[in-house]
Amino acid sequence: MKIGFIGLGNMGGPMAANLAKAGHEVTGYDTAQVAIDGVTIAGSAAEAAKGRDVVITMLPNGDILKAVAAEIIPAMETGTVFLDCSTVDVDSARNVGQDAEKAGLLPLDAPVSGGVGGAQGGTLTFMVGGSEDGFAKAGPLFDIMGQKAVHCGPSGNGQAAKICNNMILGATMIATCEAFALADKLGLDRQAMFDVVSTSSGSSWSMNTYCPAPGVGPKSPADNDYQPGFAADLMLKDLRLAMQAAETADADTPIGAAAAELYARFVEEEDGKGRDFSAMLPRFEKRGRG
Ligand code: NAD
């Protein structure tokens, strides 16, 4: 396929490289100077999008996505798949989807989980909103860039699935970290805590797969001085998107709101910026109730 790829950062760069390695003809564009193995760099987003079968975007936020969409939609031919893999707010995803559909394109919002490691290894999970037709056409590309793609319904539902998942993740990570810190203070050994909780009703991905305690459970960023992994800053971004969506939809999300507030404090007032989101554990360790 002829693929346009706009936004060649930490995630988009390796995703585009994997598509090129698999034999697709990839033309990329980024506002920063980048060089990606096997990818021809175009002079503008419109040039990267013109005449392609599929155009992929992997951008920082909804405003940038909307600006790029306004530039590339007129350049794309009817029937082209417009595959946005960025994490953005549900409203921006739906607005861009509507504009693209009006122009005769097949828009998909397909945010990912799996992080930079997943992008490099081609093992991302895609949560996809949009038409059956678009989903089927993009299928071979999901297979190269990822290990799983779930069709979640119409436009915007991919973003909805992503922020709901990450709201659960933020909340369970905080709960797991505060429970470890309480267990420490009660004199409970961390290994015993892991052995019990990981096989009991308190288990979760945060405990079992991504344990925030160093030296306990499977290898995780905790064992690498809390280098991300999944940065606390990105968790904060996703929690804020969840709160924005909850407000629009009039949904009551008290635990999500508490998680958003705590990650905001951690990243913006404490030492959380640039650290893995599981570094909440050393944060709680140092604190008392006051
Ligand atoms: P990044 O900042 O490394 O990459 C974004 C790229 O977009 C940059 O290279 C930037 O120069 C480029 N860009 C900005 N404005 C542009 C424009 N107008 N035209 C063309 N290029 C432009 O960010 P990232 O980590 O690659 O994340 C990309 C998206 O993926 C975000 O929405 C993020 O929330 C999501 N995401 C990231 C991770 C992760 O672990 N990094 C995990 C899941 C999802």
Strands 106-109, 124-130: pairing kind: antiparallel
What is the position in ligand 1's atom list of the atom closest to the CA of 116?
40
Distance 105 CA to ligand 1 centre (A): 23
pLDDT tops 90 at residue 104: yes
Q: What is the pLDDT of residue 290?
A: 80
Distance 120 CA to ligand 1 centre (A): 14
Q: If 0-12 CB within 10 Å is exposed, 13-18 middle and 19+ buried, where does residue 212 land?
A: buried
* Ligand 1 geometric centre to CA of 235 (Å): 14
Q: Is 162 a catalytic residue?
A: yes
pLDDT in tens, 183-210: 999 999 999 999 999 999 999 999 999 9
Instruction: Say if residue 115's pLDDT is above 90.
Output: no
> Nearest C-alpha to atom 9 of ligand 1 is from which residue?
9
- pLDDT one-digit tens code per residue, 264-286: 999 999 999 999 999 999 999 99
CA atoms within 13 A on the CB side of 51: 7
pTM for this predicted structure: 0.94
pLDDT (average), residues 71-79:
97
